Amino acid sequence: MRLRTLAIGLICPMAALAQFPPPNLTENTIRVSDHVQVILGFPNVAIVTGERGTLVVDTGLGPANGAIAARVARKLSKGQKLYLTTTHFHPEHAAGVGGFPPETILVRNSVQQQELIGQGAEMLVLFRRLSPDYAKLLAGVDKLRPPDVVFDNEAKLDLGGVTARLLWLGAGHTKGDELTFVEPDRTLISGDIVQNKVVPGVSGNGGSFTSWLAVLDKLEALKPRYVVPDHSHPGDGSLIAQERAFILDMRSRALALKKQGLSAADAGKRLTSDFQTAYPEWARNPDWPNLTSVPGFVQRVYAEAP
């Protein structure tokens, strides 16, 4: 039951795994802004380069992918220092740390680190069960190295001509979701908190949609020009308002059905159908299996309702 609880809102059923991007990263990057390039994959890995240092955000699934991300970062680097941070503790974001050079400076917020300590081992077991490819990439991965720097609300990394602000603004997908705001680019590396036409999901022991909306309010105040999600294509700052509008609308629809006495399962089926009509671009989005994600969204809304 514990592993099932952790899986709620994290990932869709096994049958939908084929819709995910391949778990193996490539060395190809796209440029988002002056100092930010991204490897598109599962997940997207952002690389922020300055004159003195480079920051990698997320590791990929397992050490082999971490080594790819580190190698790309070194090719792009101008300075000697290499930093690494993770948007949250789930394996495709954090379990590749073993592929980075030992001198890499690992930075993480304290809430996320506590989640990793408390739930990281169970999450690795869950991911190994999801797919033989995942199991192969996670073979031999047990305990992940502890961070060199732990912060509470914000840590600033001066990379030389560019500053990366690592932020913990509250719970959303997980309790320890971390955001990175790159200045002067005004580029937000948003993890799961801001996606591009992807149905949001609260992980089993994560936050709530109420706390998620509060984080979006804080992000909007930053006025980002570019947004780099971790499971969909980069976009502009309007993705924040889009994310908020979707949560508010679909939550309202779900609560109306709950008030009518529909079960969460029946409401999930009805809203999956409604979703295809109301959000056709989302329903067709190849970045994520959205049609199988709507029932999980509805179940979470029901669970959070008074």
Q: What is the pLDDT of residue 204?
A: 85
Residue 165 to residue 83: CA distance in whole angstroms: 13
Domain boundaries, the chain: 2-238
Q: What pLDDT is recorded for position 15?
A: 38
pLDDT at 100: 98
Question: Which pair of tokens denotes residue 174?
Answer: 């997980």
What single DSSP character describes residue 22? P
Task: List beta partners, residue 217.
Answer: none
Report the pLDDT value the prediction gives residue 19, as an integer from 0 to 100. 55
Q: Please list the alpha-helical segments (H only) found in the chain.
A: 2-7, 63-76, 91-94, 110-130, 132-137, 209-222, 238-259, 264-278, 280-283, 290-304
- Structural contact between residues 207 and 171, judged by C-beta atoms closer than 8 angstroms: yes
Mean pLDDT for the stretch of residues 267-293: 96
Computed over every residue of the chain, the mean pLDDT equals 93
Phi/psi for 7 (5° steps) reads -80, -20
**Is 17 a residue whose pLDDT tops 60?**
no
Q: Do 89 and 59 contact (CB within 8 A), yes or no?
A: no
State the average pLDDT over residues 22-40.
96
Q: What is the pLDDT of residues 58-96, one digit of tens each?
A: 999 999 999 999 999 999 999 889 999 999 999 999 999
pLDDT band at 16 (very low <50, low <70, confident <90, very high): very low
- List pLDDT tens digits, range 258-277: 999 999 999 999 999 999 99
CATH class entry, domain 2-238? alpha beta
> pLDDT tens digits for 139-149?
999 989 999 99
Residue 9, pLDDT above cutoff 90? no
**φ, ψ dihedrals at 168, nearest 5°:** -115, 115
Q: Which residue has the higher pLDDT, 169 or 7?
A: 169
209-222 vs 290-304: helix crossing angle, rounded to 10: 110
